[in-house]
Amino acid sequence: MEIKIRNLSKNFYSEGKRIKAVDNVNLTIPTNKIFSLLGPSGCGKTTLLRCIIGLEVPDSGEIEIGDEIVWSKDRGIFILPDKRGVSMVFQTYAIWPHMTVFGNVAYPLQISKTPKDEIKRRVGRTLEFVRLEGFEDRAATELSGGQQQRVALARALISEPKVILFDEPLSNLDAKLREDKGNRILENSGPIVPTHHTHRFPARYHRVRKEGRIEKDQYWKCYQNKRE
């Protein structure tokens, strides 16, 4: 699913000063291509992803996902996050501590009113994929960091999104599991990966961000050779 971002800007304000988190970004992410947004902390990678999924409201510009405009300032369009066909794995996991593993993973299906039998089947299949079978009744607070990240990954996958956005992808998984799950996810999805830790996910194309702007557009081999 192609994503088109046109003239997108998002500002925050602190102590009367304007901070340009996303500064007039224009970006096209082709269907079935794997991208990484590279850049230092605070350059706007996460804010851009939150705008795409609908958790932040931009100040100007337009976002098109597939054939649908999901945000447009000028046209007055705002499509709710759960209607965009996009999931996100957050750097902080964002799992609910008061819920079990099953409850966390099942939540996207429950709010879409999926039948209970179908929820149980899909949760079981997805937990098996992330190697958490048997953890359904475990409290989220009883899990290790790596296990919590797998719960977050399972929750993002459960609704079978067309695009997955990763913030610091799979950083707390062991290397073998990270490579295995990363490759299997890539077979079925075209995620955007906003991280400068390029070894954590086999992204093939990169966008380099600096101070809210897209600075470079390079093929992955360039970064392997030059270590930029």
* 65, part of any domain: no
Strand partners, 62: 6, 72
Range with the poorest average pLDDT among 10-14, 126-130, 163-167, 176-180: 176-180
Count Cβ atoms within 10 A of the Cβ of residue 40 and give its class: 0-12 exposed, 13-18 middle, 19 or more buried.
Answer: exposed
Is the predicted pLDDT of residue 206 greater than 60, yes or no? no
User: What's the domain range around 170?
Assistant: 32-56+81-226
Helix, strand or coil, per DSSP, at residue 18: strand
Is the predicted pLDDT of residue 146 greater than 80, yes or no? yes
pLDDT digits (tens, 9 = 90+) for 174-188: 555 555 555 556 555
* 170, part of any domain: yes
Q: Rounded distance, CA 38 to CA 206, Å?
A: 7
Q: What pLDDT does residue 223 have?
A: 38
**Domain count for the chain:** 1
Is the predicted pLDDT of residue 228 greater than 60, yes or no? no
Q: What is the CATH number of the domain that holds 195?
A: 3.40.50.300
* 90, part of any domain: yes
Could you tell me which of 6, 115, 125 has the C-alpha nearest to residue 62?
6
* 11, part of any domain: no
Is the predicted pLDDT of residue 205 greater than 50, yes or no? no
Beta-sheet pairing, 35-38 with 205-210: parallel
pLDDT digits (tens, 9 = 90+) for 19-75: 899 999 998 887 776 777 777 777 888 899 999 999 999 999 999 999 999 999 999
**Confidence grade of residue 140 (pLDDT, cut at 50, 70, 90):** confident
Give the chain's mean pLDDT.
Answer: 80
